[in-house]
Structure formats: C-alpha cells, structure tokens
A and B are shown apart, each in its own frame.
Chain A
Amino acid sequence: MKYAPPGQPGSVVTVAPRYENFIGGKWLAPTQGRYRADLSPATARPITEVAHSTPEDIELALDAAHAAKDSWGATSATERAEVLNAIADAIEANKEMLAVAESWENGKPVRETLNADLPLVIDHFRYFAAAARAEEGSSTEIDKDLVAYHFREPLGVVGLIVPFNFPLLMAAWKLAPALAAGNCTILKPASPTPWSVLKLAEVIEDIVPPGVINIVTGPGAEIGKALAANPRLAKISFTGETVTGRLIMQYAAQNIIPSTVELGGKSPNIFFSDVMAEDDDFLDKAIEGLVLFAFNKGEVCTSPSRALVQEDIYEAFMARCLERIAAIKQGDPLDTDTQLGPQVSAQQIEKIASYVEIGRNEGAEVLIGGERTDVGGDFTDGYFFQPTVLKGDNKMRVFQEEIFGPVLAVTTFTDDADALAIANDTLYGLGAGVWTRDGTRAYTMGRAIKAGRVWTNCYHQYPAGAAFGGYKISGIGRENHRMMLDHYSQTKNLLVSYDPKPLGLF
C-alpha cells in the first residue's frame, strides 16, 4: 500500500505550519524567532518549518531540566518504569503515524520504519522500564562489622545529540536509559531530521513530567557547542562523525564530565565458502545478508559496506547477490513495496557520487549501479542513488571511508587469516558480519575481529539487550544494554561501621 505524504488529504500524519522547541513541557518559540524549512528528501520540498534556535534556547532548556531534576531524580524506579512504559504504549498507539512521519522526513522506506525502527523504539523504552525495576544495589560485608553499600544515583541533566539516520531510534537509545536512571535530558536532533522527533514529543508530552525531556532544534554551529560545552551538563552523549566526537570529548574534559561517543564504521561482512555448501534457506539468508548494505539506504554507522567473499565462491555467490540487488525496488518511501528510498540530503548524495568517482579513478570495477537515479513523478527531484557494488582492493578509499550510502565495496580473501587481516585493516571497529556453517570458525573469527558487535550468521539486528558500541576510532561507550544504567548514573558508596569500638590510633 501507499501512504499519503504527511499533511496531504488522507495522510495519517498532521503537519502544523511550524514547530517550536519542546522545553519544560511546553512548546516555546525560539528566542530570536527564527525558523527554517524542513525538507523531505523524497521530493526536495518542504514539509514544515522548525525552530532555528540559538544558545539562549539551550539555556532555557537547561533551566527547565534543572528545575525538574530533583523531583524526577527522587522518583522511585517503579514510578520511572511506569512513565517509560506509558511512553512505549503511546508510541505504539501512534506507530503508523510516527513511521510515516519518520519515513517522509528521512527518506527511509516505510517498510523499515514500520517493521524495524518503531518496534525497536517501543521495545527500547520497555526494556529500560524493566531494567530499572530489576536493578538492585549491593551490600558487601567487608568484614564482620564493616559493610559497603552501593547505590546508583542520577547524574542530573544530560545532553543527547543524535544523528539523522535513525531520528527516533537513536533518540530512544539515549533517552530511555537516561530517564530510567533518573536524569533529565536535553535532546538536539540532527539538522536534517528534527521534525519526526517533535512528532514523537507531541505523542508523549502529557506523559512525561515537564522538564524531563527537552528538545531544541537548530544548527550544530550555533547550538551544538552551547549544549555540549555547557558547565550545567552532567554528561554528554553523541552519535556522529569523528571530528565532532573529538570536540565532544574535549568539551567533556574541560568540564570533567563523562561522554559517550559513537562515531561510525566501515564494517566487514565476511562470507566463507561453506555458505554455498547447500542451496537452502541459509544460503538465501547469507545472500540477503550481503544485500543488507542497502538497508536504510546505507545510512547506517554499522552498514556492512565491505563484503569479503572467499575467492572460490566469489563468482557464483556474487552472481546470486547481484541478481538480488538488481531486483531492489527504489522509489516512494511511503510505498510499503519500496526497499530503497532517497538519501537524506543533497549533501549526502553528492558525497556518495563523489566516492563512486574516487573508486572508479582508483581502478574499482562497478559491478552494478554507480549513478544517481531519477525515479520520476513526484519524486523526480528526490535524492535517489542506485544500489551500487564496487569490486576492488581493501586499500582503496572506498574500502576505507564511510560512504554512508547504498554502496558496497567487495573484495575476495583466500583463507581465515587473510579474511581476518582484511577485516581488521580499517580505522574503525563498530560492526562486522561472519557467515559460515562452521561453528568453531564463526566463534574464532568473531573473537578475533576488532569490532564491538560481530553479527554471526545475521546482520542489522538491534535488539535491546545486546550491547552496541565501537572499538578503535568508532567510539567510546556502549548503548542498547542495561549497562547503560551505569553510564547514566553516579555510584554512591556508603561504608558503614557497625563496630562500637574505636580504631585505637589516636
């Protein structure tokens, strides 16, 4: 089926002419009264206007968060879990609306937002509601009369800066653990995708106490530093690229606060010969596993953007994969049959095209795609790029830099040692995939690859409860796991003596 674009007759999404910041439970116009257009990448036409905020608006959000932090921090785990579960229920009740809004603003196909993004968002809040309830402090009997009690306490007010590729899920990955741990939050959505998060705020505005979630939209150059370097923050969490990641850590160092940074990857997806030992469901799954480079238009930090195929199956395996890639349906992101939508912005599609050119100049062979494409009709101006496969050498730029588009770089390997050497020959270490019918090989490779997440005989699954984060320059910290409660908490130790006698030293 096809959903009507937001704001059009028959659409499940209503669109206001403009959206203000969500601060202290209210919608507040930006202090300087400036707005900017928010475009749909499917048509390159405006959806609505959002606040073009300035540092004064960040200060207002900090005021609201600080006003709320003592009461929110004092709520019981039971009360916080109730709020998180209510958020999940409200999102679930509005799942279709939010899936369509996010698809239209980001360009990701609605089949993905309906079946992946939104279900994961909902489950993430429920997971952290459960995690908060199940948390226990500890008491340690140091000796007969001396006991160490450990309690978790909220940090206070935390800053959350999220990327454009999963506007709702990345917000949920940061909001859910921060709230579960008793913190108040200030969320800065990415400049290309602020609106879908504001639609989410509309859904939960009566559920969350005022000041607990604050959302400020605007350009990073004007409000990014105002938030990240602010001495009133107790933690900053960021997902994006490496230079901003270093800036975030620099600001955190200056304020002596913790930071979590997730900075991308160039993930190897390794296919051993034995995947072709049978022509069965597993082989079919492995082929789909390679084609997942096109998931979310390749705009994924963990995109399996380097395929390493054992040389003796290369021709036969790639023939099957290329057939599947050629069948990818590209077009209206709101059509549930569409598998590949437009890239998020003009900048991104130009960058992708320039990388394909760099690949060609370095001698990579274009096996399929390689060009911008016009899907016609209402979408003729949309930012569509053909699913593309480049064959080459791992030293090439297209194997080393994150293209953030539906572009796969493929190469071959001879044996396990060669596969491992190529897999680890990268600056990054976020994700990896290993496909084999041999359990020992799967385990050995998985442990030896320097990456935080090794999908084994699967890819692109992000269930809450599986820790996610990077090795090497892919970042510091983890998300998507109850260990996040630690990352968003202080540790309080009470060391209590039950011995009535003095030490006897003085």
Chain B
Amino acid sequence: MAGIVLLLASCYSNNCPLENTVLCNYSFYDAEGNAVNYGDTITVTTLMPGNKTEYVYRKLGNPVVIKYEKDAALVEQGYTETAREVRNDTILVNQLSKASSMKIPMSYFNKIDTLILSYKRITLKDTIKIEHSSYPHVEQPECGTYRFHTLENISATDAAIDHIEISNAQVNYEGNVNVKIYFNGSVED
C-alpha cells in the first residue's frame, strides 16, 4: 500500500502558468481596423499616488530643462527656476518601436489607471484612462497568488489615437487581447 501511495504521489505535477505577472494586452490597429506595427516610438508612463516637486529652468533661446532636484549651476548660467508640484509617475514602457502590441501592468487597488503615451514624431501626448476592478486569484497553492482584473470602461485622447475599445474585459494570464488601440490614418511604415 505504501508503494501505491508513493506511486500516486510521484505522478503529481503542477500546471502553474508560465506568466508570473498579469498584464493587460494592448494590440495596435490603424483607423480602418487592420492590425499594424506602429511606426512611431512609444513611451508609456503612468500616474502614481502622491506628488513630487518639479523644478523647471527656462532661458530665452534655450530649451526648457526639467529637474527633480535643484540645480544651482543652471541658475548661475542665467536660467530662471520655477518649482511646481506634480503627480508622481513612472515609466511602464520605454521607447517601444515598430511594435504590434504592448503589455502593461495594472494597479491592484486603484479604481482608475491613467496611462500617458508619448511619441517621438509628435510632441502631443495621449492619455488613456482605464476603469477596472481587481480581485485575487489562486490557480494552485504552489503557484502563488495573482491579481486578476476586469475592465469596465476605457477612454483616450485623440493626439495619435483614433479610438480605443475593450476587446476582452478579463485580464488574466491567458494572453488574450484586452484592448484594441486604433491609431489615426495609416501608420504602416
């Protein structure tokens, strides 16, 4: 009987997901709905809880310099210093180029995530607001805990984005396309 117990125990294996984080999958399309590799370079930042102090240095005929710590050297060079409180942010995707999709994490406990898309070819930025709910999920005890999300609403500005829609509201580790971003015009290189 001990042999049978060991035999049964030896057959045990786990089926933990390969992905150890849950990411929202965005897929890119042109305005007509064709899947594309977006030609521009995209950097995605998100707003974080809390504020930080931002120092802006300006001088006639020179580009604006933004720093998060005071720079006395710039003041000595004739720059004017302006301090302002801004929301904390962090970069989620840095310099993504010629991609057909991107995967971005979602907040565990915030109701709304705000994503800011910066482009290399245009100075304007797009802001995407994602309203969602989150809940814990355990597939198997040995796999640990995950955080799944359900998308409830999504909106975006129109600097480079024609429109945006939810494709699959369930954000989990199955890798489905959750959000479709339709960019203006034909963006194929």
Chain A bound to chain B: no
